[in-house]
Amino acid sequence: MTENERVRYVPLKEAQCRVHGRTDKSQDPLPLFWNGSLVEVNVTGSELWIDLEVDYENYEPWAGCDINGAFLSRQMLMPGRYRLCLFRGMDPKKVKNVRFFRELQAMSEDDANHILIHGFATDGAFQPVPEARYRLEFIGDSITSGEGTYGALEEVDWISMFMSVSKNYAVMTSRALGADFHLLSQGGWGVLCGWDNNPHNNLPFCYEETCGLLHGSVNEKLGAHKPWDFASWQPDAVIVNLGTNDASAFHQPVWTDPATGESFEQHLETDGSWREADIERFRQAVIAFLKVIRKNNPKAHIVWTYGMLGYELTLPITEAINRYRAETGDGNTVFLQLPNTTRETVGSHEHPGAKSHERAAGVLTEYLRTVLEGV
């Protein structure tokens, strides 16, 4: 390789860099906790490198890079501290917009998993990065983690490489609307409990921390458990896409904590209907979560979306929303059904494929346009 002697190192703190996604911006190096978290720069020069520190125990992180809004790369990140070149050989005078993003969800099951950004190296100069005109926050499960958007149809392994933000309804919607976005999602989790009845695997419990579902001392030090400063980033809309795993729980056996013996189970009656006490605690979880979201996002339009993996809990979710609205008088919270995934649109691991994400993004984008733009 011919060395470019004009390239110089720029620590992250000295770069004009916009950081997207919930993180602790006081950290150096900076962690990209959630899927869709990213660093964005506008930079002149012929080449740009990013200085990374990566580790994991079992589930390796993946990352991707967009240049001038176009998808260019997607790769498994090797462990260690190293530089990756993001572009080279480009017209040095032009400003290039570069977004280096985390493809993989925050991994509650791998305490060592992290992507840390130390800085950049370039022969160009950084330029300001303007904000987008809208801000969207998405809260979801494996669907929002993009599970199934990569990989062959027959794949059933639950591994990092089949999850993405590069083919993901939340990001497609944000791009179509010209919006910045935060994603908070975890595969298998619900609003009350996980797909297997584990009552700890719900998004509400960690919603008010920066990335509260991560464990371990490393993540602690990286600021994952710091209270999230909602005032720092008020979204125009909060899109919840939860309920799919809560529906699954009704069809799974009891969950028991091997350590404590604690157990939890959602039951069906013998006629196949939900046991009332169980569906009611699901509804209460929806109502409670809406209150938390509203408390922290007083002006946001809240949209509870549902349906990409089945419509089973449509009516309990809407009942909860109706009761929440009646109780609080909050008329700025609605329900939107997203089209179910079909044989034509399914991806790997029986999850929504890219076509299903595109279809859902179409319906959601059209809806949000009526709210945000009054069209």
Pick the binder of a copy of itself from 18, 19, 40, 74 (CB under 8 A). Answer: 74
- 374 in contact with a copy of itself (CB under 8 A): no
Segment interacting with a copy of itself, rule: CB under 8 A, options 82-90, 205-213, 220-228, 257-265 = 82-90
Neighbours of 121 (CB within 10 A): 17
Between 123 and 209, name the residue whose CB sits nearer to a copy of itself: 123
Pick the binder of a copy of itself from 104, 106, 321, 361 (CB under 8 A). Answer: 321
Between 73 and 256, name the residue whose CB sits nearer to a copy of itself: 73
- 27 in contact with a copy of itself (CB under 8 A): no
Instruction: List Cβ neighbours of 218 (8 Å cut-off, separation of 6 or more).
Output: 111, 112, 114
CB of 231 vs a copy of itself, minimal distance in Å? 26
- 127 in contact with a copy of itself (CB under 8 A): no
Pick the binder of a copy of itself from 16, 27, 73, 284 (CB under 8 A). Answer: 73
Pick the binder of a copy of itself from 6, 28, 85, 221 (CB under 8 A). Answer: 85
Neighbours of 343 (CB within 10 A): 6
- 170 in contact with a copy of itself (CB under 8 A): no
- 328 in contact with a copy of itself (CB under 8 A): no
Report whether 179 contacts 136 (CB < 8 A). yes
Q: Which of residues 39-58 bind a copy of itself (CB under 8 A)?
A: 55-58
Pick the binder of a copy of itself from 16, 27, 68, 256 (CB under 8 A). Answer: 68
Report whether 4 contacts 199 (CB < 8 A). no
Binding mask of the shown chain, residues 281 to 320, with x at each position contacting a copy of itself by CB under 8 A: --------------------------x---x--xx--xx-
Pick the binder of a copy of itself from 175, 275, 291, 325 (CB under 8 A). Answer: 325
Nearest to 40 by CA among 107, 115, 131, 106: 131
Report whether 235 contacts 133 (CB < 8 A). no
Segment interacting with a copy of itself, rule: CB under 8 A, options 7-15, 132-140, 152-160, 198-206 = 152-160
Q: Give residue for tokens 């329900």.
A: 335
Tell me the CA end-to-end span of the chain in Å, nearest whole number: 53
Pick the binder of a copy of itself from 18, 40, 53, 88 (CB under 8 A). Answer: 88
- 337 in contact with a copy of itself (CB under 8 A): yes
CA–CA gap between residue 320 and residue 342 (Å, rounded)? 27
CA–CA gap between residue 337 and residue 84 (Å, rounded)? 41
Q: Are strands 38-43 and 17-20 parallel, antiparallel or unpaired?
A: antiparallel
Number of residues engaging a copy of itself in binding (CB under 8 A): 68
Structure tokens at 337: 């059904």
Between 69 and 227, name the residue whose CB sits nearer to a copy of itself: 69
Nearest to 266 by CA among 349, 339, 201: 201
Which long-range contacts link 249-258 to residues 24+ away (Cβ below 8 Å)?
A: 249/190, 249/192, 249/193, 249/194, 249/195, 249/196, 249/197, 250/274, 250/278, 252/195, 252/196, 252/197, 253/197, 254/197, 255/193, 255/194, 255/196, 255/197, 255/198, 255/199
Residues that bind a copy of itself (CB under 8 A): 1-2, 55-60, 62, 67-76, 78-79, 82-91, 112, 150-152, 154-157, 159-161, 271-273, 307, 311, 314-315, 318-319, 321-322, 325, 331, 334-337, 339-340, 342, 348, 362-363, 366-367, 370
